[in-house]
Amino acid sequence: MDKLVIEGGKPLSGTIVIQGAKNAALPILAASMLASGTSTIEHVPELLDISVMLSILRELGCQAEHKDGTVVVQTEKAHSPHVPEALMRQMRSSIFLMGPLLARFGEAKVYQPGGCAIGERKIDLHLQGLQALGAEIEEEGNVIICRAKELQGADIHLSFPSVGATENIMMAAVLAKGRTTISNAAREPEIQDLQNFLIQMGAKIIGAGTDTITIDGVEELSPCRYRVIPDRIVTGTMMVAAAVTRGNVTLLKTQPAHLTSLIHVMRRAGVQITIDDDIIMISNSGRPKALERVVTSPYPAFPTDLQSQLMVLLSLADGVSVLKETIFEGRFMHVGELTRMGADIRVDLNAAFIRGVKRLYGATVEATDLRAGAALVIAGLAANGRTIVEQVHHIDRGYDRIEETLSHLGASISRYSPVTNN
């Protein structure tokens, strides 16, 4: 398993371009199945999760190539509604292939995606939504089979604004008969990106980005060309990395409007952030201020995917901060590892009480999930001495060659692969 070796204490400086959004590209690639023909999706990052999604599309009978950030998917020959279990286990969010498969084939066979380090990751809202559209769902062990001779529009209310469930329902409803409304829908920018892709294919859909989405089913959709939005979580990760190393970094091709909550929180902590169109400039020369209380909530509130990264900033702040996680029940796996680097953090249920320290110290730490891993890299950049981050494959799921991006900004970071660096 690869490791990252980081010599900390170097302020980041320079300019980078932000990659395309993983969490927008994944549902959009799934949605390409809704039309027969060749779709071209641009600004798709080279990530483990993306390559798993392309493998699934190929297993379903599509042709899919990813070159220079552009994916070309040919779906004419798609023939199977069955997502292989091994691939589902590699990426749980392949569950949102159910909607497109059901809409295209009238059937979908998937597997319980199971939980992961950050939580149980239930899919009941996905299944309830598809059932409301007329799908019959059979569960035998960990196999889930959905069938629907014809999908009928329905009024669906989500008890929680689940991102994946909103996306699955949208992708099934665009080819259903009649009107579907999704109330208490997730409002994330990735939902808006999926809506814009579906509209490009000929779907009739409005409301993404608000809590009510209305879809009028159409007979058929056409393949299209589309460019994915920038990755707001990668942007936020780099902003925190710049701040904790007391650096001076410019991020290009971002969408600042997708990060208003993080920008507000970081400014409260005393970090200088300047915005100019699609450019975000971050500079920080002093010790961050502690923040009395930050709570993760569905968009547009503070995103759970930036909670672990912010915790590193608060670990170095002057004072005590409280960081509350309300989306996932297990998203404090990074706390133990940060404590081993000298952070002073106490967890009580879903709240972390963080007493800022003057400095962190390098250690050998283990990434347990994607964003916890990113947080440990950020901590290593800020720490005195050497940090070794193990299980780096978690980080590669969401960051395209993170060590190259950070080296470009002046970090001392290198990757060791067991085979090549003996």
Give me the residue whose beta carbon is nearest to ligand EPZ: 164
Closer by beta carbon to ligand EPZ, 34 or else 123: 123
Closer by beta carbon to ligand EPZ, 239 or else 317: 239
What's at 343, amino acid-wise? A
> What region, left, alpha or beta, does residue 355 occupy, with left being phi > 0 and alpha being psi -120 to 50 degrees?
beta
- Long-range contacts made by residues 337-342, C-beta under 8 angstroms, separation at least 24? 337/363, 337/365, 337/366, 337/368, 337/372, 337/376, 337/379, 338/311, 338/312, 338/375, 338/376, 338/379, 340/365, 341/365, 341/379, 341/380, 341/383, 341/387, 342/383
Least separation in angstroms between CB 178 and ligand EPZ? 24
Strand partners, 94: none
The residues assigned a catalytic role are 116
Least separation in angstroms between CB 96 and ligand EPZ? 8
Determine the Cα–Cα distance for residues 282 and 247; give it in Å rounded to an integer.
8
Q: Which residues of 251-278 are buried (b: 16+ CB within 10 A; e: fewer)?
A: beebbbebbebbbebbeebbbebeeeee
Least separation in angstroms between CB 182 and ligand EPZ? 13
Compute the Cα dihedral for 110, 111, 116, 122 and give only its sign.
positive
Closer by beta carbon to ligand EPZ, 184 or else 407: 184
Cα radius of gyration rounded to whole Å, the chain: 21
Least separation in angstroms between CB 13 and ligand EPZ? 27
Strand partners, 43: none
Determine the Cα–Cα distance for residues 299 and 253; give it in Å rounded to an integer.
21
Contacts of 265 (CB under 8 A, 6+ apart): 291, 294, 302, 310
User: Which residues contact ligand EPZ by CB under 6 A?
Assistant: 23, 26, 93, 119-126, 160, 162-165, 186, 304-305, 327-328, 370-371, 398
Scan for tokens 């809202």, then name that residue.
125
Closer by beta carbon to ligand EPZ, 8 or else 113: 113
Residue 157's SS3 state is strand
Closer by beta carbon to ligand EPZ, 184 or else 412: 184
Least separation in angstroms between CB 120 and ligand EPZ? 6
Closer by beta carbon to ligand EPZ, 34 or else 169: 169
Least separation in angstroms between CB 102 and ligand EPZ? 16
Least separation in angstroms between CB 38 and ligand EPZ? 24
Closer by beta carbon to ligand EPZ, 106 or else 119: 119
Residues for the chain: how many in total? 422
Determine the Cα–Cα distance for residues 282 and 288; give it in Å rounded to an integer.
13
